[in-house]
Structure 1
Amino acid sequence: MSAAVIRYQTTPEAADENQRLIEDVFAELAATAPPGLRYSSFRLADGITFVHVVDGDGLPELTAFQEFQRSFGERIAAGPTRDDATLVGSYDAAMLTVGS
């Protein structure tokens, strides 16, 4: 299973807004539950670095994701970088996935 890992830094003044926009994406995902999409987002301890892991399709079609993307260039200070990654294992309370 292949996923994309996207990492970037926001400006300090834009970090909270960036997080709010990401939370809006998760709210829309909860409401629409696109099949076959796995998506996680992390805000690192420095408060300005964000990491997104996405596997599957459907994210760009979300209204909240389009809003997140609209002003993305104004919020970032460094990046983004994108790397392809292969899932080794994943765990959550509902399901255990190992390998691909």
Structure 2
Amino acid sequence: MKSKTIIVQYQTRPECADENEAQAIKVFDAFARASLKGVSYRTMREVNGNRFFHIVTRPDVEGPSPLMQVDEFREFVAAVRARCDEAPVDFVLRQVGEYEGWAATWKAQSKSQSKSRKLPRNCQFSFTPQ
């Protein structure tokens, strides 16, 4: 089954950031109870900031998102704009690649094919945080 990945990004008012995080955690509790099949959902918050990113991968099917079956998610979506400095913006994405360090493989994907490649043993990646 094809999947669809969406990132939703927004900035809350500074005084609403902690409340927004608490409301997002309630949504995760509800997702755990609902046990949605084929859905991956993450919420990220900018360190020391009030910018949020929601990343969802779900089946690409006609009709409403399976997330909308969860009352707490619908309530979160309905209330989030009232906490925002910037309205939420969503981006529908197409995967180009994926790296899983614990598996020492990376996957390149094109519109027509998916490839998995083994990384050399001496391959290293470094990242210097700002």
The answer for unaligned runs of 5 or more in structure 1 is none
Match of 1:39 in 2: 41
Match of 1:58 in 2: 66
How far off its partner does 1:92 sit?
Answer: 9.1
How far off its partner does 1:46 sit?
Answer: 3.9
**Which of 1 and 2 has higher RCO (CA within 8 Å, sep 6+)?**
1
**In the TM superposition, what are the counterparts of 1:83-94 in structure 2 within 5 Å?**
83-87=91-95, 88-89=97-98, 91=100
How far off its partner does 1:47 sit?
Answer: 1.9
RMSD of aligned residue pairs (Cα, Å): 2.3
Judge conservation of contact 1:90–1:97 (CA < 8 Å) in 2: yes
State yes or no: 1:79 paired with 2:87: yes
Identity of aligned residues (%): 27
How far off its partner does 1:33 sit?
Answer: 1.1
**TM-score between the two structures when normalised by the length of structure 2:** 0.65
The letter of the residue matching 1:24 is K
User: 56-65 vs 83-92, which deviates more?
Assistant: 83-92
Change (3 A) 1:70 1:2: closer
Q: Distance in 1 between matches of 2:4 and 2:68?
A: 18
Q: Distance in 2 between matches of 1:97 and 1:22?
A: 30
Q: Segments of 4+ in structure 1 off by > 6 A?
A: none
Judge conservation of contact 2:81–2:87 (CA < 8 Å) in 1: no
**TM-score between the two structures when normalised by the length of structure 1:** 0.82
Larger radius of gyration: 2
